Amino acid sequence: MEVNGKQPISIQNVPPYSNTSYWTDRRQEIHAWLHEQAPSLAELYKGCVLLMFDPIVSGRITFISHAVREIRNRLPGETSKRLDYTQELEKLVQSWRTHNFPLENIDLVSSTNPKTSLPSSSPETLVPQRLFLEIQSLLFRHSSIRVKGRDRAVRLFEQFVPESQMTSEVLIISVNQWWQTTDWFMKRAHDNGEVDAACDEQELHSKFIEFESFLGTLSQSFYSNTDELDEILEEANT
């Protein structure tokens, strides 16, 4: 089966799973996808699953919740296109030099050197249009990736869910429900004085399954999880 025209993610380089019934095919696919995006997040997810179904560690509610928090916060950044600032700045340095602009700190350079000094008669320096556009482009790309909160979640869903499968309205509903589900864990990511026994296990499992459903949707682009996600969205609208 292909997903968005691509073969399923290979799990050959993913650490082996426990021989237990709770490591379903879907969970293995989610883990493999996370491993491809960010191995550290895959480890957190695997830890969540182990703590959910092998509850042998005290404080597991906090550990699970904190891992979900990290996945929610970091996944958009790990999957989005990153700027290679070293490479980008090196290109800008070369262009800067091509236009014979100095790299030295002008305030510390003798005004007798015309190549490294600003004209004393004018507080401004004319920048060639090409160089200006290169600087502008870098600043724009930098500012465009500095998005926080739900806007990052929107971009995450837009990146992995085909536009044909998700209207703008469904996108917003999905992101809001993703936010609401993960907020449940966010509130429990730090010690609040309650012990594990105070947590409703049925509610914990329900929220974790919802969380996994969204991860499954992002990883498989609706091919294997559409029905389950539809049920979640339907509940959100009632």
Q: Name which of 5-9, 64-68, 139-143, 168-172 the model is least confident about.
A: 5-9
Average pLDDT over residues 108-125: 51
Are 70 and 175 found together in one domain?
yes
Domain co-membership, 172 together with 223: yes
Give the count of beta carbons closer than 10 Å to the beta carbon of residue 104.
11
The Cα 79–Cα 153 span in angstroms is 11
Better-scored residue on pLDDT, 7 or 197? 197
With respect to residue 168, please indicate whether it lies within any of the assigned structural domains. Answer: yes
Q: What is the pLDDT of residue 183?
A: 93
Q: Do 189 and 134 belong to one domain?
A: no
Q: Which of 109-113, 136-140, 190-194, 231-235 shows the highest mean pLDDT?
A: 190-194
* Full 3-state SS string of the chain: CCECCECCCCCCCCCCCCCCCCCCHHHHHHHHHHHHHCHHHHHHHHHHHHHHHCCCCCCHHHHHHHHHHHHHHHHHHHHCCCCCHHHHHHHHHHHHHHCCCCCCCHHHCCCCCHHHCCCCCCCCCCCCHHHHHHHHHHHHHHHHHCCCHHHHHHHHHHHHCCHHHCCHHHHHHHHHHHHHHHHHHHCCCCCCCCCHHHCCHHHHHHHHHHHHHHHHHHHHCCCCCHHHHHHHHHHHHC
For residue range 38-60, what is the model confidence (pLDDT) as tens digits?
Answer: 899 999 999 999 999 887 889 99
Q: Domain check: are 61 and 134 in the same one? A: no
- Number of domains forming the structure of the chain: 2
Boundary-marking domain end, from 95, 129, 145: 145
- Residue 15 forms part of a structural domain: no
Query: Which band of pLDDT confidence, cut at 50, 70 and 90, is reported for residue 17?
Result: low
Q: Whole-angstrom Cα distance, residue 206 to residue 231? A: 13
Residues 157 and 121 in one domain: no
Chain-centroid distance of CA 228 in Å reads: 23
Give the residue-averaged pLDDT of 123-146: 77
| pLDDT given at position 152 | 81
Measured over the CA atoms of residue 178, residue 146, residue 64 and residue 9, the dihedral's sign is positive
pLDDT given at position 185: 95
- 159 and 232 share a domain? yes
Whether residue 20 is contained in a domain is answered as no
Residues 49 and 109 in one domain: no
Q: Give the pLDDT band of residue 234 (cuts 50, 70, 90).
A: low
Q: Are residues 153 and 231 in the same domain?
A: yes
Mean pLDDT of 102-109: 61
Same domain, 107 and 209: no
Looking at residue 180, its amino acid is: Q
- The pLDDT of 9-25, averaged and rounded, is 63
Q: Are residues 125 and 205 in the same domain?
A: no
Q: Contact, 38 vs 30, CB < 8 A?
A: no
Pick 22 or 104 by higher pLDDT: 22
Range of the domain at 52: 25-80+149-237
pLDDT at 99 over 80: yes
pLDDT value at 232 more than 70? no
Position 170 confidence tier, pLDDT thresholds 50, 70, 90: confident
Q: What is the pLDDT of residue 134?
A: 85
Cα separation, 67 vs 186, whole angstroms: 9
